[in-house]
Amino acid sequence: MIDIKLLQIILDNLIASSMKDVGDNKDLLDSYSPNQFKSKLNLINHIKSLNILDKESEIVIFGCWYGSILVPAFYDDVKLITAIDIDRKVILKSKKIYKDYPKVDFIEGDVFDKRVWHRFKEDKDWDLFKRCNLVINTSCENMKSMKDWGPSPEYKTPWWKRFKNTYFAFQSHNIYDIHDSKNCVEDMDEFKSQLPDNAKVLIEDTIEDDRGIRFTLIGRICNE
């Protein structure tokens, strides 16, 4: 069902932005493009088919952008969504759009920078590795490989080894001419090679659009 309230907020922001900066307006509009819908819905449908989320679940989104499709899709299904992006303008606008949605927290920062996770130390009840049930990253092509997130020997216990009962949902693509796509993959095998060693793939899929192929990998982080 369409969230009419959220739709109105987005439209208000688009209208306000169009009066000031067409560039910012275009960026937000692009997050709702047909290709974005096609790839995100592919991921969403696969996640929901696994029945891994409930009202006590928590999701963390790496490289969230505006959370345009993912946040509305899961908002009513879970306890909390933590959305992280390195772009300050994106985070500020997202906070404005979702200001009346208390179950989503937008954070500015680089997910590979441990300082991002230090902000949670003030909240002793929040522990990423104990409470996160699903890590989503639909921007794998824009950052280092996921196997390099909190790796050894830099960390005595690599970050992926610290999760208890957590799933992952990742996407990348082979569209090399998209801005900031610095870690594209040529095929599914190359994408799998970027997974952490303790990742067990449950679902793999490809989506073709008018520019190339997007790859979807969904699975479980196994630390038992």
ω before 151 within 30° of 0 (cis)?
Answer: no
Give the pLDDT confidence score for residue 122 in this predicted structure.
56
The answer to whether 97 touches 66, Cβ cutoff 8 Å, is yes
Please state, in angstroms and rounded to a whole number, the distance separating the CA atoms of residues 173 and 140.
Answer: 8
Report if residue 13 sits inside a domain. Answer: no
Report if residue 202 sits inside a domain. Answer: yes
The answer to whether 18 touches 26, Cβ cutoff 8 Å, is no
Give the pLDDT confidence score for residue 44 in this predicted structure.
96
* pLDDT, averaged in runs of 10, over the chain (224 residues): 62 58 71 89 96 96 95 95 95 93 94 77 65 95 94 83 92 89 94 96 94 96 86
Sheet with strand 58-62: strands edge to edge: 104-108, 80-85, 58-62, 134-137, 166-173, 213-221, 199-208
CATH number for the domain including 173? 3.40.50.150
Give the pLDDT confidence score for residue 19 in this predicted structure.
45
Report if residue 115 sits inside a domain. Answer: yes
Number of structural domains the chain divides into: 1
Report if residue 23 sits inside a domain. Answer: no
Q: Name the residue range of residue 106's domain.
A: 34-221
27 DSSP 8-state letter = H
Please state, in angstroms and rounded to a whole number, the distance separating the CA atoms of residues 210 and 58.
Answer: 34
Q: DSSP readout, 178-208?
A: STT--S--SSHHHHHTTS-TTEEEEEEEEEE
Give the pLDDT confidence score for residue 21 in this predicted structure.
57
Give the pLDDT confidence score for residue 157 in this predicted structure.
83
- Where are the strands (E) in 26-68, listed by range? 58-62
Report if residue 137 sits inside a domain. Answer: yes
Enter the tokens of residue 128: 């990423």
Report if residue 90 sits inside a domain. Answer: yes
Please state, in angstroms and rounded to a whole number, the distance separating the CA atoms of residues 136 and 62.
Answer: 6
Report if residue 61 sits inside a domain. Answer: yes
Report if residue 214 sits inside a domain. Answer: yes
